[in-house]
Amino acid sequence: MNEAQARIYAAIAAIPPGRVASYGAIAARAGLPGRARLVGRLLGEVPDGMELPWFRVLRASGEVALPAGSRGFREQCRLLRAEGVEVKNGRVPLSRFGLDADVDRALWGMPGS
């Protein structure tokens, strides 16, 4: 495993329960801005024995990237809901569950307040 791969896997592993991150946010946190597709590819190539919270990684829109209705899609939604993450029609509101939601709230306040 090279250094970039290790940094991406570490960034995914660092997503806390009840939070999600986009492929692009993971790439940026790994020091590889603009490499969202690499994050997606590496999620499909996780080394045997490595446990990652893969289900916490979503599209930038907050959508589950797996095909709607597929076994993987249903599993991802189930795992997210088990952690208290709101999933509606395969989409998570990043403003509430994204990694940076607390920072945004601290800086800018709650929407509508």
Domain assignment present for 49? yes
Residue 25 lies in a domain: yes
Question: What pLDDT score does 99 carry?
Answer: 86
What's the rounded Cα separation, in Å, for the pair 26 and 20? 10
pLDDT at position 101: 66
pLDDT tens, position by position, 40-56: 999 999 999 999 999 99
Identify the pLDDT of residue 29: 93
Interval 53-105: pLDDT, tens: 999 999 999 999 999 999 999 999 999 999 999 999 999 999 999 987 655 55
With respect to residue 88, please indicate whether it lies within any of the assigned structural domains.
yes
Can you give the residue range of the structural domain that contains 100?
A: 3-108
Q: What pLDDT score was predicted for residue 113?
A: 43
Question: Please, what is the average pLDDT of the chain?
Answer: 90
Q: What is the CATH number of the domain that holds 102?
A: 1.10.10.10
The structure's pTM equals 0.86
12 lies in a domain?
Answer: yes
DSSP 27: H
Residue 51 forms part of a structural domain = yes
How many domains are there within the chain? 1
113 in a structural domain:
no
- Contact between residue 65 and residue 24 where contact means Cβ atoms under 8 Å apart: no
Q: What is the 3-state secondary structure (H, E, C) of 80-96?
A: HHHCCCCCECCECCHHH
